[in-house]
Structure 1
Amino acid sequence: MTDTPSLTLPLLQPAQAQKHVTVNEALVRLDGLTQLRLKSRQLTEPPATGVVDGDCYAVAAGAQGDWVGQAGRVAIGSNGGWVFAQPLAGWRAWIEDEYSSAVFLNGAWSTDWLAGTDSGAASRIEVIGAEHVVAAGSAQNTTLMIPKDSMVFACSARVTETLTGGLSSWSLGTPATQGQFGAGMGVAAGSYCTGLLSQPMTFYAETAVRLTPTGGTFGGGKLRLALHCYRISLPG
């Protein structure tokens, strides 16, 4: 055996020369894979910013360049290049650009996973965020969409830039139900909507989150939105 079975750390061999090279490679892998933090799982080739020692990426399908042939593996920046490790079922990681935890199952990283089966069926709690720049005028759909086949618990919001115009307050809902997530919220920066529903509601089609002014129209402003929902993955 030349490598350890789980982390594929290289083992020293009898009478091996330059033992420090093997030891250092093992330490690089161990440093990267312990408390694993993935910069991203979206890239098919190394980042344009170059190699940063210790940075880890989940190599996406269709890998190119220095990552060709490494799809599905973890790329670890090391000494100006890359070393690779094959994740095993049950490994967990923090994905930095998604601000989510993930577990490696059925050959892929799955975020917000609660429970599942070996067929790929899974339950997930998700929080989907969006920034919305308010357009001048009346009611408008925001940039936040409720995914199809999702059970929604809440849609929260915070005013990050004062809402201008003639309005006295605003409501948050959907095209079908104007104030479904809240009404009468203030227009000043820092005003917020908790958006909790009295009982979860399932949306079977993709639905826009809609912003409606009260007592006037919008002139401008910005909001930060977050949808809190439950979703499933079907068995394969």
Structure 2
Amino acid sequence: MATSTHLLLPFLEAAQAQKHVTHNEALRLLDGLVQLSVKDRDLAAPPSSPAEGDRYLVASGGSAEWSGWDLNVALWTDGAWMRLPPRAGWRLWVEDEGALLVYDGAIWQPLGAALGLLSVGESVEVARGALGGSTGVAVTEEELSGLSGASVTSGIVIPNRAICLGVSTRTSTEITGATSYDCGIAGEPAKFGGSLGVAAGSSNAGVIGPTAFYADTPVVLTANGGSFTGGAVRLAIHYLTVGVPT
């Protein structure tokens, strides 16, 4: 039976009997393909109780009725699974992830990766060479609460081999005991800011000249005018990452 080029919709033949069968088959395909959305992309075997119209992106290693359907869309319709082979340029919404994917002819990629767009996240790759070397931008955050003692050390660190651009702070709960505080690292207590405010809402964008770090390095808050007896500070470490060629 002849089919259309891209969606493989079956054509009616001139002298064909029961033309409604072929017509309905084409409608099923269209209903499964238009505004393509799947429930999940992590299953390699069919779910036990699919509902009419359920669609899945078959994971690698497809088995049972999905054997050989890796990276294809499986549509449950009229009590059976229908295979929808993808073509380059197809776009697909993954419902359980809230993610939009694009098929490039070989794999499904997130829309941002397929189009070379920058995403928003804690760590974002902004450049990649042909051999795999990369440059990234990242931010790591933590709230230090219940401040106590002469100094407090963060749990987050400036990563080894990172180029630090600065550490920003915000006093989220009024600090008690100290009259101000410094933000820095061991040996440089005010590297990212000195005599910072203890009142709730006080903030500081502690930028520095880009500085390379060669070991994981925590941030240290040092109390001035007395020890910390309470309060909370939010920290954000801002840095560049360097990825070596693969």
Q: TM-score, length-normalised on structure 1?
A: 0.63
What CA distance in whole angstroms lies between the structure 2 residues aligned with 1:3 and 1:177? 67
Candidates 14, 31, 38, aligned match of 2:11: 14
Which amino acid in 1 is paired with 2:139? V
The alignment status of 1:187 with 2:198, answered yes or no, reads: yes
Q: 1:23 to 1:221 in 2, by over 3 A?
A: farther
Match of 2:15 in 1: none
Q: Secondary structure at the match of 2:34?
A: helix
Query: What RMSD over aligned residues (CA atoms) do the two structures have, in Å?
Result: 3.7
Candidates 230, 233, 243, aligned match of 1:220: 230
C-alpha offsets along residues 136-165 of structure 1, whole Å, 9 cap, x if unaligned?
A: 21211112211100111111011111112x
What CA distance in whole angstroms lies between the structure 1 residues aligned with 2:150 and 2:220? 11
Identical residues among aligned pairs (%): 24
C-alpha offsets along residues 44-97 of structure 1, whole Å, 9 cap, x if unaligned?
A: 78xxxxxxxxxxxxx9x9xxxxxxx87xxx88128xxxx9963346345787xx
Q: 1:3 Cα shift?
A: 9.0
User: Mind listing any 5+ residue stretches in structure 2 that lack a counterpart?
Assistant: 13-21, 44-58, 61-69, 72-91
Match of 1:210 in 2: 220
CA contact (8 A) 1:148 1:205 kept: yes
What CA distance in whole angstroms lies between the structure 2 residues aligned with 1:205 and 1:2? 60
What CA distance in whole angstroms lies between the structure 2 residues aligned with 1:148 and 1:169? 29
The alignment status of 1:77 with 2:87, answered yes or no, reads: no
Q: Secondary structure at the match of 2:168?
A: strand
Residues 214-223 or 204-213, more deviating:
214-223
CA contact (8 A) 1:134 1:223 kept: no
What CA distance in whole angstroms lies between the structure 1 residues aligned with 2:143 and 2:181? 17
CA contact (8 A) 1:174 1:207 kept: yes
Q: TM-score, length-normalised on structure 2?
A: 0.61
Candidates 137, 144, 162, aligned match of 2:149: 137
User: Mind listing any 5+ residue stretches in structure 1 that lack a counterpart?
Assistant: 5-9, 33-42, 46-58, 62-68, 102-110
What CA distance in whole angstroms lies between the structure 2 residues aligned with 1:208 and 1:131? 13
What CA distance in whole angstroms lies between the structure 2 residues aligned with 1:44 and 1:217? 52
Which amino acid in 1 is paired with 2:108? P
CA contact (8 A) 2:136 2:242 kept: yes
Alignment of 1:85-96 (within 5 A): 86-88=107-109, 90-91=114-115
Q: 1:44 to 1:152 in 2, by over 3 A?
A: farther
Q: 1:160 to 1:12 in 2, by over 3 A?
A: farther
Q: 1:217 Cα shift?
A: 1.1
The total of aligned residue pairs comes to 181
The alignment status of 1:26 with 2:38, answered yes or no, reads: no
